[in-house]
């Protein structure tokens, strides 16, 4: 089984709350995900601050627009101390290719990730937005487009890794949200697995949020997940 690393989804109400959480967890955590909630509220300064604390940054903005706009956004963000960045694979090969060209020119070590089907979505919800197929089939389709564009990583449910790794395991790194340790609430997630299952299925990184920061001891929760991964 290849190595799999934990990313904390830092979806907090305020920087003070997030600082307190990161201080409590301490050196057991390497990666932090900053998403729309905190980026729109506190901006690039917040990214710089968290990176300055020694954490590697996964900036999860799920960019989706015309190719030129997304490429320019990747250009602007490339000057930040980020290690991962998401765009929507459903934006198409042209959009993803434009973003990837900017990555190669300005920040080649950036792990650009194509987001496939959100882990809060199921087949009924896909059909409601005009995608008449299963989440698994749509994820596989978008994975192929992501590889064709040259983007090096994919965001998907760990439930889909068994159909992805045979075709794309040598081409892509996999980041899997929707992770819930045994006994945790599923919350709004539809397609969930445990940390150990995700690692066994071939995930390179797992993303966990509420089961950590809502735990009685977030540090103990992180330590338990790391132990399960290893």
**Whole-angstrom distance, CA of residue 143 vs CA of residue 164:** 8
Which of 2, 62, 72, 159 is an active site residue?
62
CB 36 within 8 A of CB 115: no
* Amino acid 121: pLDDT: 84
Write out the residue range of the structural domain in which residue 25 sits: 5-229
Q: Output the pLDDT for position 191.
A: 52
| Residue 192: predicted pLDDT | 66
Which residues of the chain, if any, have pLDDT below 70?
1, 182-192
**d(C-alpha 98, C-alpha 112), whole Å:** 12
- Reported as a single tens digit per residue, the pLDDT across 36-89 is 999 999 999 999 999 999 999 999 999 999 999 999 999 999 999 999 999 999
For residue 212, give Cα distances in angstroms to 8, 153, 180, 185, 217.
8, 25, 10, 12, 8
Active site residue 2: no
Q: Which pLDDT value is given to residue 188?
A: 47
The number of domains in the chain is 1
Cα dihedral 92, 96, 99, 105 sign = negative
CATH of the domain at 181: 3.20.20.70
Rounded-to-integer distance, Cα 186 and Cα 145, Å: 30
């Amino acid at each position: 089984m290849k190595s799999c690393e934990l990313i904390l989804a830092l979806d907090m109400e305020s920087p003070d709350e997030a600082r307190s959480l990161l201080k409590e967890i301490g050196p057991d955590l390497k990666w932090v995900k900053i998403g729309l909630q905190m980026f729109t509220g506190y901006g690039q300064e917040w990214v710089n601050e968290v990176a300055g604390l020694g954490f590697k940054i996964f900036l999860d903005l799920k960019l989706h627009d015309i190719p030129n706009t997304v490429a320019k956004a990747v250009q602007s963000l490339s000057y930040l101390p980020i290690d991962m960045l998401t765009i929507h694979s459903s934006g198409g090969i042209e959009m993803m290719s434009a973003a990837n060209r900017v990555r190669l020119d300005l920040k080649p070590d950036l792990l650009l990730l194509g987001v496939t089907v959100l882990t809060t979505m199921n087949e009924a919800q896909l059909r409601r937005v005009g995608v008449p197929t299963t989440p698994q089939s749509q994820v596989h389709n978008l994975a192929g487009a992501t590889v064709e564009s040259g983007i090096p990583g994919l965001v998907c449910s760990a439930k889909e890794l068994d159909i992805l790794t045979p075709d794309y395991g040598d081409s892509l790194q996999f980041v899997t949200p929707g992770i819930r340790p045994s006994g945790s609430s599923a919350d709004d997630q539809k397609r969930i697995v445990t940390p150990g299952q995700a690692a066994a299925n071939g995930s390179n990184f797992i993303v966990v949020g509420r089961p950590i920061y809502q735990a009685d001891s977030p540090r103990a929760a992180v330590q338990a997940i790391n132990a399960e991964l290893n």
